[in-house]
Structure 1
Amino acid sequence: MDSTIDAVAEIFSWVGFGLGAVVAGIALVMYVFDGTWLPTRGVLDDGEHGRVVRWFDEDGGVNEARLTHEQERALAGKSMADIYYRRGGRGRMRLTQGSPAVRAVAYLSLGLLGVGIVALATSMILLFTRG
């Protein structure tokens, strides 16, 4: 029975640290490719295909993006909103500065690294309590 617990702890520590590091690397790549998002104030208006938001970028250009259903619900009844637009990208905006996908992958990597730490601690405790 002791060898089974040791093997399970060893497997979870390797999987936790190894897979956690790989997923953290993926999160880093996603963060880099996500780009820079700058804050601005957008004006909401009704367009021919639904509600749109218009804003000025840092170069003084006017941008426009159609709102998704989730964004429409979040901004219901507002005529202006604080938004984030992508530097260098025309017509791209979102309501949060950080990407929810990048955040989810980063939390997954932290969870896997946590599993690795707990498994390593369990393995060390078992090693010293048997001796």
Structure 2
Amino acid sequence: MQTLDTLALVGEVLSWVGLGLGLPMLLIAFLIRTIEGPWLPAEIAIIERDGVLLARWFAGGDFHERPLSGGESAEVGWADGVVSANNPSHARVGEPPHTRRVIRTLGIVFAGVGFVGLVVSLLPLLVS
């Protein structure tokens, strides 16, 4: 019975750590998704004006324009990008940010480990 108690203790620690980290991460990922909204594919025109590269796109019934940031690299012409469904004036050249996906994935992994730890910690109650 001592092995079962040790296993239950390890399961309880895993459940506290896993659920304690996983559930807040899932909540944060949900809040980011709610605020940003889904990212929709868009074609973005890249132009040069006065030596500055500008991105132009049409979304939400209006034309939008902004200078490219330092992390975005594109050539003059057409580029694939994404536009926020909640805020069409917010666009990115290339793929959407990976922050939400990383936080969601870590939240799922931690919550999964926490749930398994919770089940393992209940074994002594189920066996006896």
Which range, TM-score by smaller chain?
0.7 to 0.9
Counterpart CA distance in 2 for 1:12 and 1:35 is 33
Other-structure match for 1:47: 49
Q: Which residue of structure 2 aligns with residue 92 of structure 1?
A: 90
1:42–1:53 Cα contact (<8 Å) kept? yes
Quote the offset at 1:100 in angstroms.
1.7
Structure 1: unaligned runs, 5 residues or longer: none
Deviation at 1:78, TM superposition (A): 5.4
Structure with higher helix content:
1
Normalising by structure 2, what TM-score? 0.73
- 1:27 and 1:102 in contact (8 A); partners too: yes
Counterpart CA distance in 2 for 1:93 and 1:111 is: 30
Name the amino acid aligned to 1:104.
V
Q: Which amino acid aligns with 1:40?
A: A
Higher relative contact order (CA 8 A, sep 6+): 2
| Aligned residues between the structures | 124
The 5-angstrom pairing of residues 53-72 of structure 1 reads 53-59=55-61, 61-72=62-73
- Aligned CA RMSD, in angstroms, stands at 3.0
- What SS class does the counterpart of residue 112 from structure 1 fall into? helix
Choose from 94, 101, 104 the match for 1:103. 101
Partner secondary structure for residue 69 of structure 1 = coil
**87 and 47 in structure 1: CA distance in 2 versus 1, 3 angstrom threshold:** farther
Q: TM-score, normalised by structure 1?
A: 0.71
